[in-house]
Amino acid sequence: MKVGIVRERREFERRVAASPDSVRRMASMGLEVVAESGAGEGACFTDAAFASAGALIAPDAGTVLADADIVLKVQRPLISEPNGGGELRYLKRGSVLIGLLQPLRHPAEIEAYANAGIFAFAIELLPRITRAQTMDALSSQANLAGYKAVIEAADEFGRALPMMMTAAGTIKAARVLVMGAGVAGLQAIATARRLGAIVSATDVRAAAKEQVESLGASFITIDEAAARTAETAQGYAREMDEDFQRRQREAITEILRRTDIVICTALIPGRKAPVLLTEPMIAALAPGSVVVDLSVEAGGNVEGSRLGEVAAAPNGVKIIGHANMPSRIPVDASQLYARNLLNFLTLLVDKDGRLKIDPGDEIIKATLLTENGAVVNPVLLPAAAADAQASAA
């Protein structure tokens, strides 16, 4: 069975879906890996490194995609590009596509996967169960995004983060506030602490308090009672009501007056990101302060953030809106993502290297979008069809 790897063609993307290490492991599973020449360039994986790990190198994406039984991608394939530049049209009917397909943000594209007759898997829909942890690409990428957010902020900040006592005088430690203490936020806290900053953090979920404090940061509780019901059964945050948001803004505005860097990471799955910093709140920050909006692609946590840009607020505060933060640390992000996909592949390939898709497996059920020309994922079906599917199962 052939596994195809192509160069990612979407804007702001430097990652690749395989690494020399994952190629070696796929070969040992009895899979034949074919990579487009230059596929790993953005992540510093050369054709020679892929070839010595056991991959064949093909001259172009069309050749790789048309021949592959399984296609590994980071981003959604291009579908209807001008000048015939699409990728999906090359895929064989019955082949498997695995990637961060963003089905909730781009539902129209799911129909195209169904029409192409492929098995499309959206890796971000993995259930967060213990067995799936090694496949959890959302976590591996969010972790690196949290790290890189602090590094980018430190780079834009005109001061140092740690306290320094020098002969010429003492530099005060910077104060960092992290809003949203999930995977990205916790890594941002750890990174800012390692750089010597004084760190505080807030989240709507009560469980976040202990995790924040265990990293040596202080936790800002907005409303203890609301926090107890803010977490869904899947471990994600609920959307908070207007009253909570107003109180959160009031409490945070006070803290902003003595904050230098704010890292915003708050997300609510399937919805627009909550606005955490309004323009009047940004006005409370001192000139030279830096805000990072890691949620900018989901609508943004920060008023005035602009996708792919470092914006300047009227008072001189910089608002970093870089798109695709994990792609700004492409080597490690690709290594970890490739390992996530490799672990996922072990569910789809039997010991003789043949395709086996077990529709009863909880992980397959959650991630499979299309099969035999139809959309099959309960998250994407209208409620009535999902109910019928659940009772038939």
Which residue has the closest beta carbon to ligand NAD?
A: 182
Select from 10-18, 99-107, 128-136, 356-364 the region that touches ligand NAD (CB under 6 A).
Answer: 128-136
CB of 183 to ligand NAD, least distance (A): 4
Active site residue 139: yes
Of 128, 228, 246, 271, which residue is the catalytic one?
128
Select from 6-14, 112-120, 151-159, 204-212 the region that touches ligand NAD (CB under 6 A).
Answer: 204-212
Residues in CB range of 52: below 8 A, 6 or more apart: 20
- Would you say 15 or 205 has its CB closer to ligand NAD? 205
How far is it, in rounded angstroms, from Cα 279 to Cα 294? Answer: 17
- Would you say 35 or 273 has its CB closer to ligand NAD? 273
Nearest residue to 13 (alpha-carbon basis) of 75, 62, 67 = 75
CB of 146 to ligand NAD, least distance (A): 9
How far is it, in rounded angstroms, from Cα 232 to Cα 239? Answer: 10
What one-character-per-residue DSSP string does 172-201 give? PPPEEEEE--SHHHHHHHHHHHHTT-EEEE
CB of 367 to ligand NAD, least distance (A): 14
Residue count at the site for ligand NAD (CB under 6 A)? 30
Q: Is 59 one of the binding residues for ligand NAD (CB under 6 A)?
A: no
How far is it, in rounded angstroms, from Cα 71 to Cα 96? Answer: 6
How far is it, in rounded angstroms, from Cα 191 to Cα 184? Answer: 11
Both structure tokens of 138: 């959302």
Q: Is 146 one of the binding residues for ligand NAD (CB under 6 A)?
A: no
Applying the rule CB under 6 A, the residues between 154 and 183 that interact with ligand NAD are: 179-183
Q: Is 268 one of the binding residues for ligand NAD (CB under 6 A)?
A: yes
- Contact pick of 46, 52, 115, 133 for ligand NAD (by CB under 6 A): 133
Angle, nearest 10°, between helix axes 330-348 and 137-156? 170
Q: Is 235 one of the binding residues for ligand NAD (CB under 6 A)?
A: yes
Q: Is 190 one of the binding residues for ligand NAD (CB under 6 A)?
A: no
At 131, is the secondary structure helix, strand, or coil? Answer: helix
Select from 28-36, 261-269, 344-352, 364-372 the region that touches ligand NAD (CB under 6 A).
Answer: 261-269
Kindly tell me the burial class for residue 237, based on how many C-beta atoms sit within 10 Å of its own C-beta (0-12, 13-18, 19 or more): buried
- Contact pick of 88, 204, 281, 298 for ligand NAD (by CB under 6 A): 204
What one-character-per-residue DSSP string does 345-392 give? HHHHB-TTS-B---TT-HHHHHHEEEETTEE--TTTS-HHHHHHHHHH
Active site residue 389: no
Q: Is 205 one of the binding residues for ligand NAD (CB under 6 A)?
A: yes
Q: Is 228 one of the binding residues for ligand NAD (CB under 6 A)?
A: no
Q: Is 237 one of the binding residues for ligand NAD (CB under 6 A)?
A: yes
Q: Is 208 one of the binding residues for ligand NAD (CB under 6 A)?
A: yes
Amino acid present at 81: E
Amino acid present at 151: I
Q: Is 255 one of the binding residues for ligand NAD (CB under 6 A)?
A: no
Most distant CA pair in the chain, distance: 75
Applying the rule CB under 6 A, the residues between 276 and 305 that interact with ligand NAD are: 276
Q: Is 137 one of the binding residues for ligand NAD (CB under 6 A)?
A: no
Of 95, 136, 140, 187, which residue is the catalytic one?
136
- Would you say 198 or 363 has its CB closer to ligand NAD? 363
CB 65 within 8 A of CB 97: no
Per DSSP, 299 falls in state T
For 124, phi then psi, to 5°, come to -75, -10
Kindly list the residues in this chain that would bind ligand NAD in the complex (CB under 6 A): 128, 133, 136, 138-139, 142, 179-185, 202-205, 207-208, 235-237, 240, 265-269, 274, 276
Q: Any idea which residues carry the catalytic annotation?
A: 128, 133, 136, 139, 236
